[in-house]
């Protein structure tokens, strides 16, 4: 059963179908149904995935451009499956959340929701692609729907933000294109299939150049420190739903790319550049957090927190220990849920009052307790409170990095304190204290909004206490990746008798 | 004597130990998610859950007593939390069970007390939910069999204290205090986290059993580092010296919160951590020394702050800080001090909770007035509160035969044997404690009436006084019960080990008499200053020392100057740099390209002749180039 | 002897070039272009003789044909421009610019 | 030896002519200068064993192309002279620099590219220059030849299309013209018939001989006022002509008083000279703008008569 193609097919057909539906309400319901179908199919696929089976499962490979050896190659390993699950869970939630977000946009509501479904198809495609060329195509194609969602439905400076986002990612994409072509030609295998290309580049200097080509594109996509300035603008101007997908899934393609392509295709270069990447990510963590503290606009603040979180993920990927690797992958999933919840609740708040500035709020807790409660839980997950899923991944990333790189791990752990500051300070300024005049008549969450936030918080709690099912899928995949990078975990100083830790 | 081996266990009350955590957790969930419907039964459900978990704790205690002392450490396997990193399990041994009894016991009493105290509060349901959440988290902390679960409980407790301190969050001061408490705790947790990572890096495991079994194999340098990092965590949670500023602000929360969290249970978590990680500290002499120094320093600082505070709750908070300083001091000495530290912790739990609740009922009566200068002569009006408060007062200053006398003097004696300087500082601390506790009691219950015109105090209802009475009974007898005949030390021995020869308690030792004398002097001096003399309604301008004490030894000012001010400055700089620097670079690049294209545009002048000229010159250059190339 | 011819042709070519650039009257510009073409023809003929092969002259012949065609079209254009703009100055026709 | 003399003479002549072409103010002079250059080049071709080319140069190039220039020059306006002020900044300076540079470069470049004495065309063109050229064209370069013919046809068509102006309304017929003449007579009393030609007799056919009416008297209309005025100023006006002019002026003065100086019914001598003037008279020197040539008013700026007529 060609699972992955059906998934993408359903969402694309859904997207076309939505454009044909005349009245808006029906269009939204149709989109919701399609996204739920895709979710159900993915879950069915995930159930059949055997964690300890061979690396790539549900593989489908057809010739696309035989002349260049370009295949429509899709398959899923542990990491990709988990990320596809994340995106497929987020989309129906986003559809439900942006029920009224699309009215104010330049284009029609139907276009917004069809763009959403197209984006979903591409998200699945980008994670499932095992052909480097196909991956690149999806990597670039993803930008278009997101560009239109920001450009036509965003806030005040939406066009500036959309263009900046597009140009930034395209610039990265072009570098990657050069690297992809160079890889194809140097490898000389006449094929773009990832499995064939692994380990073909021996000479270290070429590896370094190709690594840089890929890495800069991924560093822009998952904003590492110097390339991050597009994210706050894009996330702040995008409608809440689009911002969730942008930060929750699109940016993960960057870190996923690092883990999959940078590490496996160019192991020696990866080892050579690790100190650089670790420094960039540590700067990102501390810098992102500090700038987040100083923000006045809520969505920009959340965007900067994501810059800090991506610093953690990148550090986890390049620390190259099993704990850090699987921690980073888990972090990608958890960050999707936690920042998704934070963005959506902030989106509800902004939708009610209309202004994104923190100073326009105050004492909402008294007026809308449920909204404040969910906002607090989402915030706590963002500052990775134990008992919520982000703690598990952050803990694994830090403990994994500590094994190999002591000082960066310690500096990164200060991120934990800064996270507490920016979240609680934002929460205090918006929710606590005397109720501001402007917020007196703020309605609490309605049924639809509760349905949006409830699953996310439930997921955060469940994976906070019992992350085993996710980790069982991720660990073998990460072990494979690291073994292909021929890297072993450092030995403990005191070997404990029995390994049953 | 080395701690005993952990035996895997199943069945019986201990087997159901996880119920202790689950019950309050379920209670909290029901109350939080229940919404309006659970308002009526909210508080009863909360109390029920607390009492039920107390019952389970008591049953497992009885079952534990049934076993021979050697195999009293029972481990319960729960589930694999993070494959390859941490298996979650519970460890029921004398140390954790005594904590559980303290938490659930005092916790239940405080739950009952808060029914009365929070009777007229609209969000009472949410209050009980948070209390249950706190009890669950604290139990997880003490029952955990590895450091990860301990850390989950550790931060859970921090969250609960954040929620409870900021319970009346419409008050900006409460909100800021809650945020401050959480962030300072987070700083402590930062240290604890790094400690955990070091443990994992050295032992590749975080389970207590494995870590402590191989503790001696690790190098003393790593052990010292781990010890110090754990100490940072402990300081954060137990408000020891470097990270103590949040405790006094935490008094913004309702009084039962202060009683439960900031007197009896949460603040003692640090001591629990140090005692539990005994084997690590044994391998690190310097770490133990630092612990004792921190203990003594906080002991004195707390006492000095206690003397200058007019707010009754802040004074009690100062005294809590100093009493915990005693426990940390005792824990820092090693196995000899563990038993006394935990004994003092339990007795302190009782009489400090008793006094806090007493203060709560005084505030309740004086419609939430906290300034002691507005009290005076309340002993006749509130006899029961006065009686229970007096018992607590006598216990804390170490009045002979009361529980404080046995445990606190026990600590002072073991410290004296260990290190004379620390011993005498402890004795001095006891003296100051005598002074400020007497000052507190005399200002509140004795002297002339300095009430506000609107205040007409009355005795609190039965639901509040009964927990006071029970706690005061504990304050009287518990100390003797635990210390006499080293009963508690032998009970704890399998869990934390014990010194070779048991100390024998002889009342009339030199240090004992010296402490009694100093305490007496403090009390008499307090009588003359506050009991007999006229207490001014407005705080007089104090000498340099008093303002120093009033400003919490400038702890807050220090934090502000060192961290807060530069932090804000750094944030503004970072935001400016981000907007101008990195973003400026990007936009500058775009503007640059725009500018150059604007200028290049001018070349197209529209005149045919200028184009002809450029062609002509081009041709000339080309010809020249051919010429040059041709001749090369 | 040949170099003399070539220098002459270069000279005439350069004068033609300068004429094209300096004069504003369209027709005179045209004439200067013709002059440049003639200079080239001279060079071609000289080279034909120098290298002893008739191709030079043939090329010169073809140059003349092309020059004729070019003049016809050029002048037609000048006339149309003149008809609309009442002036034959090259600088007046400068609307197509930045 | 003769060749170098011819070369030096013609070289100097052609260079001066070229400079004249570039720097003369009047366009016509430039055209003539170009003619000189072409002719001197033709001679140079001839000197350089290229008789066919010399001929073609003279016949085709100078004869046809130069004349085309002159023709367009006439059309566009002979006296349009350029002002020497340079409008584009730095154009003149760079043009000169470019020119000098080019001249030096080409001279140097091509100069030292040619080594040794010329091989001469005797071998290549043994059957006569033209026949060998023709052989060359029609064997190896026939394709190029055909293409150039296509080119020429297209050029001709192009010129036609570009220069052609669509007539917007019908061509005025003879009937329209006569109707216009009598309308003018009705309105201004202008004589509808063409003015009588000058007197043409056995021995005298000069312009200043007045024509005789059937009754033998002199026709006042045939007297050319300008010549009359000239002869009168010179005092050589024949008496009978003077009398006729006197009578006519007297008649006009009385007619003017009669209708109170309304419109002047019959034009006076000056007006007659300005408006009409006998048809066949050649263009007098310095006349007013509107000179009538063969019944069509030709404005100096070359506005074609058709529009003039339509305009009236």
Please give the Cα distance from B263 to B246 (Å, whole number).
13
Asked if the C-beta of B200 comes within 8 angstroms of chain A's C-beta atoms, the answer is yes
For residue C40, tell me if it sits in a domain: yes
Q: What domain count does chain C have?
A: 1
| Cα–Cα distance for residue pair C89/B608, rounded to 1 Å | 11
SS (H, E, C) B493-520: HHHHCCCCCCCCCCCCCHHHHHHHHHHH
Give the one of B601, B602, B607 whose C-beta lies nearest to C91's C-beta. Answer: B607
- What lies within 8 Å, CB to CB, of B467 at 6+ separation is B109, B110, B112, B113, B357
Q: What is the pLDDT of residue A30?
A: 92
Residues 6+ apart with CB under 8 A from A286: A308, A411, A412, A414, A415, A418
Chain C neighbours (≥3 Cβ pairs under 8 A) are: B, D
What average pLDDT is seen over chain B? 86
Chain B residues 488-507 with a CB less than 8 Å from chain A = none
Distances (CA, A) of B295 to B266, B274, B330: 17, 12, 8
Strand partners, A193: A131
Q: Which two tokens stand for residue B458?
A: 């009355």
Put simply, the answer to whether D21 touches C64 (Cβ < 8 Å) is no
Angle between helices B312-333 and B403-418 (to 10 degrees): 40
The answer as to whether C94 is a domain residue is: no
Query: Any CB–CB contact under 8 A between B222 and chain A?
Result: yes
Please determine, for residue B203, whether its predicted confidence score (pLDDT) is greater than 90: no
Contact A229 B582 (CB under 8 A): yes
* Cα–Cα dist A247/A222, whole Å: 9
pLDDT of D260: 66
How far is the C-alpha of A214 from the C-alpha of A229, rounded, in Å?
Answer: 20
pLDDT band of residue C81 (cuts 50, 70, 90) is confident
Inter-chain touch D22–C15, beta carbons under 8 Å = yes
| D window 88-107, beta carbon within 8 A of C | 88, 91-92, 94-96, 98-100, 102-103, 106-107
Q: What is the pLDDT of residue C73?
A: 92
What residues make up the domain containing C52?
Answer: 1-87
Q: How confident is the model at residue A501 (pLDDT cuts 50, 70, 90)?
A: very low
- What span, in angstroms and rounded, lies between the C-alpha atoms of A495 and B218? 10
* Residue B626 with chain D: CB contacts under 8 Å: 109
Measured over all CA atoms, what is the biggest interatomic distance in chain B, rounded to whole angstroms? 121
D57/C64 touch (CB, cutoff 8 Å), yes or no: yes
Which of A251, A105, A234 is CA-nearest to residue A166?
A: A234
pLDDT: is B508 or A323 the higher one? A323
Query: In the beta sheet, which residues pair with residue B82?
Result: B86
Contact A236, A356 (CB under 8 A): yes
Contact at CB, D109 and B627, closer than 8 angstroms = yes
Q: Could you tell me which residues come within 8 angstroms of residue B238 by beta carbon, excluding any fewer than 6 positions away?
A: B267, B268, B269, B270, B271, B324, B328
pLDDT at D305 over 50: no
Q: Collect all residues with Cβ–Cβ distance below 8 Å to B345 and sequence separation of at least 6.
A: B102, B268, B271, B327
List CB contacts of D99: < 8 A, sequence separation 6 or more. C14, C15, C17, C18, C21
Per-residue pLDDT for B300 more than 80?
A: yes
Answer whether residue D258 shows pLDDT above 60. yes
State mean pLDDT over A110-123.
92
Q: How far is CA B536 from CA B374, B375, B434, B533, in A?
A: 9, 11, 22, 9
Query: Could you give the ipTM of this predicted complex?
Result: 0.72
In this prediction the pTM is 0.80
How far, CA to CA in Å, does B109 sit from each of B104, B121, B402, B467? Answer: 8, 19, 21, 5
Chain A (458-477) residues lying within 8 Å, Cβ to Cβ, of chain B: 465-468, 471-472, 475
The verdict on B189 touching A (C-beta cutoff 8 Å) is yes
pLDDT at position D79 = 63
Question: CB–CB of A121/A12 below 8 Å?
Answer: yes
In this prediction, residues A13-29 reach a mean pLDDT of 90
| CB neighbours of residue B12 within 10 Å | 15
Contacts of D118 (CB under 8 A, 6+ apart): C1, C2, C49, C50, C52
Q: Is B587 exposed, middle or buried (0-12, 13-18, 19+ CB in 10 A)?
A: middle
pLDDT digits (tens, 9 = 90+) for A171-215: 999 999 999 999 988 888 888 888 888 888 888 898 999 999 999
CA distances from A8 to A89, A372, D128 (A): 15, 37, 82
Q: What is the 3-state secondary structure (H, E, C) of D66-93?
A: HHHHHHHHHHHCCCCECCCCCCCCCHHH
**Which residues of chain A lie closer than 8 angstroms to B205, CB-CB?**
496, 501
Compute CA distances A261 → A176, A190, A315, D174, whole Å.
11, 18, 16, 92
- The C-alpha atoms of residue B469 and residue B486 are separated, in whole angstroms, by 27
Mean pLDDT of chain A: 89
- Inform me whether the pLDDT recorded for D312 exceeds 80: no
Check residue A199 and give its pLDDT.
80
A62, β-bridge pairs: A72
Report which DSSP code applies to D140.
T
Task: Judge whether C30 lies within some domain.
Answer: yes
Q: How confident is the model at residue A313 (pLDDT cuts 50, 70, 90)?
A: very high
- Residue D122 tokens, joined: 């005797």
pLDDT one-digit tens code per residue, A334-361: 999 999 999 999 999 988 888 888 888 8
A-B CB pairs within 8 A amount to 162
Alpha helices in B204-249 (DSSP H): 208-213, 220-238, 245-249
C-alpha dist (Å) from residue C26 to A181, D64, D119: 54, 19, 41
Which has the closest alpha carbon to B464: B208, B169, B109? B109
Determine whether the interchain pair A366/B200 forms a contact, defined as Cβ–Cβ distance below 8 Å: no
For residue D93, which residues of chain B lie inside 8 Å, CB to CB? none
Instruction: Please give the span between the terminal C-alpha atoms of chain C, in angstroms, as a whole number.
Output: 49
pLDDT of residue A362: 85
CA A271 to the chain's CA centroid: 24
Report the C-alpha gap between B490 and D115 in whole angstroms: 121
**Contact with chain C for residue D14, Cβ under 8 A:** yes
Q: Is C95 close to B602, i.e. CB distance below 8 A?
A: no
Q: Is the pLDDT of residue C39 over 70?
A: yes
Domain count, chain A: 1
What's the mean pLDDT in A413-419? 91
B87 to chain A, any CB pair closer than 8 A? The answer is yes
Centre a 10 Å sphere on the Cβ of residue B51 and count the other Cβ atoms it contains.
17
Q: What is the pLDDT of residues A462-472, one digit of tens each?
A: 998 888 889 98
DSSP B337-399: HHHHHHHHHHHHHHHHHHHHHHHHHHHHHTTT--BGGG----TTTSHHHHHHHHHHHHHHHT-
Q: How far is CA C13 from the centre of its chain?
A: 9
User: For residues A222 and A188, is the Cβ–Cβ distance under 8 A?
Assistant: no
The residue of B606, B624, B627 whose CB has the most chain C CBs within 10 angstroms, and thus the best one to mutate to test that interface, is B606
Assigned domain for C33 exists? yes
Residue with the larger pLDDT of the pair D8 and B555: D8
Whether the CB-CB separation of A192 and A132 falls below 8 Å is answered with yes
CATH number of the domain that residue C43 is part of: 1.10.287.3510
Cα(D205)–Cα(D215) distance, rounded to whole angstroms? 20
pLDDT at D64 over 50: yes
H-state helical runs in B71-123? 94-117
Closest CA to A58 of A68, A48, A67, A66: A48
Domain of residue A389, residue span = 3-498
Answer yes or no: is C96 within a domain.
no
Cβ of D109 and B617 within 8 Å?
Answer: no
Residue of B nearest to D88 (CA): B610
Tell me which residue of A138, A85, A115 sits closest to A14, measured CA to CA. A115
Q: Residue A404 and residue A424: Cα distance in Å, rounded?
A: 32
Only one residue has tokens 């915990």, namely: B324
């Amino acid at each position: 059963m060609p699972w992955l193609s059906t998934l993408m097919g359903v969402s694309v057909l859904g997207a076309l179908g939505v454009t044909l539906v005349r009245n808006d309400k029906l269009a939204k319901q149709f989109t919701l149904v399609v996204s739920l179908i895709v979710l159900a199919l993915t879950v069915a696929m995930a159930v059949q995935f055997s964690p300890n089976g061979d690396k790539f499962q549900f593989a489908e490979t057809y010739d696309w451009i035989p002349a260049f050896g370009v295949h429509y190659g899709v398959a899923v390993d542990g990491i990709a499956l988990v990320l596809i699950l994340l995106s497929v869970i987020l989309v129906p939630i986003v559809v439900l959340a942006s029920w009224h977000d699309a009215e104010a946009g330049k284009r029609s509501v139907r276009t917004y929701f069809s763009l959403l479904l197209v984006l979903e198809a591409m998200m699945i495609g980008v994670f499932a692609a095992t052909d480097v060329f196909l991956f690149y195509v999806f990597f670039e194609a993803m930008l278009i729907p997101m560009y239109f969602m920001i450009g036509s439905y965003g806030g005040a400076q939406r066009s500036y933000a959309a263009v900046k986002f597009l140009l930034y990612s395209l610039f990265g994409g072009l570098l990657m294109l050069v690297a992809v072509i160079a890889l194809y030609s140097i490898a000389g295998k006449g094929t773009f299939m990832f499995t064939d290309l692994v380990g073909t580049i021996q000479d270290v200097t070429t590896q370094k150049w190709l690594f840089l080509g890929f890495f800069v594109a991924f560093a822009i996509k998952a904003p590492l420190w110097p390339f991050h300035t597009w994210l706050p603008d894009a996330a702040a101007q995008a409608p809440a739903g689009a911002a969730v997908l942008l930060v929750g899934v699109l940016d993960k393609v960057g870190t996923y790319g690092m883990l999959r392509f940078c590490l496996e295709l160019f192991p020696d270069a990866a080892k050579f550049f690790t100190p650089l990447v670790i420094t960039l990510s540590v700067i990102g963590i501390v810098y992102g957090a500090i700038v987040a503290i100083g923000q006045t606009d809520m969505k920009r603040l959340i965007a900067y927190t994501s810059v800090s979180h991506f610093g953690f993920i990148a550090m986890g990927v390049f620390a190259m220990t099993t704990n850090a690797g699987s921690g980073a992958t888990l972090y990608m999933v958890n960050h999707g849920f936690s920042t998704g919840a934070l963005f959506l609740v902030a989106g509800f708040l902004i939708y009610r009052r209309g202004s994104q500035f923190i100073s326009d709020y105050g004492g909402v807790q008294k007026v809308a307790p449920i909204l404040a409660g969910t906002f607090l839980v989402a915030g706590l997950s963002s500052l990775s409170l134990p008992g919520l899923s982000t703690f598990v991944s952050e803990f694994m990333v830090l403990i994994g990095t500590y094994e190999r790189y002591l000082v960066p791990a310690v500096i990164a752990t200060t991120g934990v304190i800064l996270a507490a500051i920016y979240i609680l300070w934002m929460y205090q300024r918006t929710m606590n204290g005397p109720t501001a005049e402007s917020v007196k008549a703020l309605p609490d969450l309605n049924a639809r909004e509760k349905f949006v936030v409830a699953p996310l918080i439930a997921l955060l709690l469940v994976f906070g206490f019992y992350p085993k099912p996710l980790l069982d899928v991720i660990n073998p995949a990460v072990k494979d990746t690291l073994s292909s990078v021929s890297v072993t975990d450092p030995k403990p100083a005191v070997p404990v008798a029995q390994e049953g830790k | 004597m080395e701690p005993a081996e952990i035996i895997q266990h199943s069945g019986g009350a201990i087997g159901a130990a996880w119920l202790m955590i689950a019950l309050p957790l379920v209670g909290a969930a029901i109350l939080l998610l229940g919404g309006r419907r659970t308002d009526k039964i909210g508080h009863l459900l909360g109390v029920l859950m607390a009492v039920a978990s107390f019952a389970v704790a008591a049953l497992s205690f009885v079952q534990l007593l049934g076993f021979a002392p050697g195999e009293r450490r029972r481990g319960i396997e729960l589930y694999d939390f993070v494959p390859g990193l941490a298996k979650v399990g519970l460890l029921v041994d004398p140390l954790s069970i005594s904590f559980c009894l303290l938490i659930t016991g005092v916790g239940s009493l405080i739950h009952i007390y808060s029914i009365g105290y929070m009777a007229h509060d609209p969000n009472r349901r949410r209050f009980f939910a948070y209390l249950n959440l706190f009890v669950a988290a604290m139990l997880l902390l003490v029952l955990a069999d590895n450091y990860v679960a301990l850390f989950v409980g550790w931060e859970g407790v921090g969250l609960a204290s954040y929620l409870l301190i900021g319970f009346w969050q419409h008050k900006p001061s409460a909100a800021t205090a809650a945020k401050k408490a959480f962030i300072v705790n987070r700083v402590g947790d930062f240290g604890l986290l790094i400690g955990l990572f070091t443990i994992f890096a050295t032992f590749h495991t975080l389970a207590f059993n494995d870590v402590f079994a191989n503790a001696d194999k690790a190098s003393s340098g790593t052990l010292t580092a781990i010890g110090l990092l754990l100490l940072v965590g402990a300081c954060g949670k137990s408000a020891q010296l470097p990270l103590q500023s949040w405790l006094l602000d935490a008094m913004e929360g309702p009084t039962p919160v202060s009683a439960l969290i900031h007197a009896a249970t949460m603040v003692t978590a640090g001591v629990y951590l140090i005692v539990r990680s005994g084997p690590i500290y044994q391998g690190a002499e310097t770490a133990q020394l630092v612990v004792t120094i921190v203990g003594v320093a906080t002991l004195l600082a707390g006492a000095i702050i206690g003397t200058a505070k007019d707010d009754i709750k802040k004074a009690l908070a100062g005294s809590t800080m100093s009493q915990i300083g005693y426990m940390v001091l005792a824990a820092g000495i090693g196995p000899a001090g563990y038993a006394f530290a935990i004994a003092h912790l339990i007795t302190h739990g009782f009489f400090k909770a008793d006094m806090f609740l007493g203060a709560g009922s005084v505030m309740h009566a004086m419609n939430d007035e906290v300034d002691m200068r507005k009290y005076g002569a309340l002993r006749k009006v509130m006899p029961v509160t006065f009686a229970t408060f007096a018992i607590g007062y006598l216990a804390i200053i170490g009045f002979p035969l009361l529980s404080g006398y046995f445990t606190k003097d026990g600590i002072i004696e073991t410290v004296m044997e260990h290190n004379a300087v620390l011993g005498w500082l402890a004795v001095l601390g006891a003296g100051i404690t005598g002074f400020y506790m007497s000052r507190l009691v005399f200002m509140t219950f004795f002297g002339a009436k300095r009430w506000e015109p609107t205040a007409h105090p009355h005795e609190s209802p039965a639901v509040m006084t009964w927990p006071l009475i029970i706690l005061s009974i504990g304050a009287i007898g518990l100390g003797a019960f635990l210390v006499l005949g080293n009963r508690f030390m032998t009970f704890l021995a399998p869990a934390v080990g014990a010194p070779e020869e048991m100390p024998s308690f002889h009342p009339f030792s030199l240090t004992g008499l010296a402490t009694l004398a100093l305490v007496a002097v403090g009390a008499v001096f307090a009588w003359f200053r506050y009991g007999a003399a006229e207490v001014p309604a407005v705080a007089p301008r104090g000498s340099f020392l008093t303002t120093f004490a009033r400003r919490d030894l400038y702890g807050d000012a220090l934090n502000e100057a060192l961290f807060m001010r530069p932090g804000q400055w750094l944030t503004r700089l970072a935001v400016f740099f981000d907007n101008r620097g990195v973003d400026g670079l990007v936009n500058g690049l775009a503007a640059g390209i725009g500018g150059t294209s604007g200028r290049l545009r001018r070349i197209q002048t529209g005149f045919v002749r200028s184009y002809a000229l450029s062609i002509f010159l081009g041709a000339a250059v080309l010809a020249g180039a051919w010429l040059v190339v041709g001749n090369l | 002897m040949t170099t003399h011819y070539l220098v002459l042709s270069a000279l005439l070519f350069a004068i033609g070039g300068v004429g094209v650039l300096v004069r504003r009257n369209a027709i005179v510009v045209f004439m200067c272009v013709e002059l440049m073409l003639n200079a080239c023809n001279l060079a071609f003929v000289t080279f034909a003789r120098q290298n002893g092969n008739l191709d030079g002259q043939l090329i010169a012949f073809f140059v003349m044909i092309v020059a004729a065609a070019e003049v016809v079209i050029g002048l037609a254009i000048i006339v149309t421009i003149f008809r609309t703009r009442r002036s034959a100055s090259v600088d007046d026709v400068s609307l197509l610019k930045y | 030896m003769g060749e170098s003399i011819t070369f030096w003479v013609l070289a100097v002549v052609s260079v001066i002519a070229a400079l004249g072409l570039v720097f003369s103010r009047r366009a016509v002079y430039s055209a003539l200068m170009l003619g000189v250059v072409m002719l001197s080049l033709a001679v140079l071709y001839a000197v350089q064993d290229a008789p066919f080319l010399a001929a073609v140069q003279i016949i085709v190039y100078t004869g046809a192309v130069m004349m085309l220039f002159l023709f367009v020059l006439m059309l566009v306006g002979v006296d349009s002279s350029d002002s020497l002020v340079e409008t584009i900044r730095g154009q003149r300076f760079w043009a000169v620099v470019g020119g000098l540079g080019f001249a030096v470069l080409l001279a140097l470049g091509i100069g030292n590219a040619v080594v040794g004495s010329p091989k001469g065309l005797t071998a290549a063109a043994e059957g006569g220059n033209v026949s060998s050229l023709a052989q060359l064209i029609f064997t190896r370069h026939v394709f190029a030849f055909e293409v150039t013919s296509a080119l020429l046809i297209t050029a001709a068509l192009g010129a036609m299309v570009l220069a052609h102006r669509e007539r917007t309304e019908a061509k005025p017929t003879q009937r329209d013209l006569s109707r216009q003449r009598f309308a003018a007579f009705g309105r201004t009393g202008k004589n509808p018939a063409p003015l009588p030609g000058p007197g043409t007799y056995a021995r005298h056919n000069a312009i200043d001989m007045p024509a005789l009416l059937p009754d033998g008297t002199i026709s006042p209309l045939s007297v050319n006022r300008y010549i009359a005025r000239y002869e009168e100023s010179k005092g050589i006006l024949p008496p009978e002509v003077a009398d006729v002019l006197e009578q006519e002026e007297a008649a006009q003065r009385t007619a003017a008083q009669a209708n109170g100086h309304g419109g002047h019914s019959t034009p006076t001598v000056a007006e007659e000279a300005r408006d009409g003037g006998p048809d066949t008279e050649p263009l007098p020197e310095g006349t007013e703008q509107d000179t009538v040539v063969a019944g069509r008013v030709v404005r100096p700026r070359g506005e074609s008569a058709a529009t003039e007529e339509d305009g009236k």
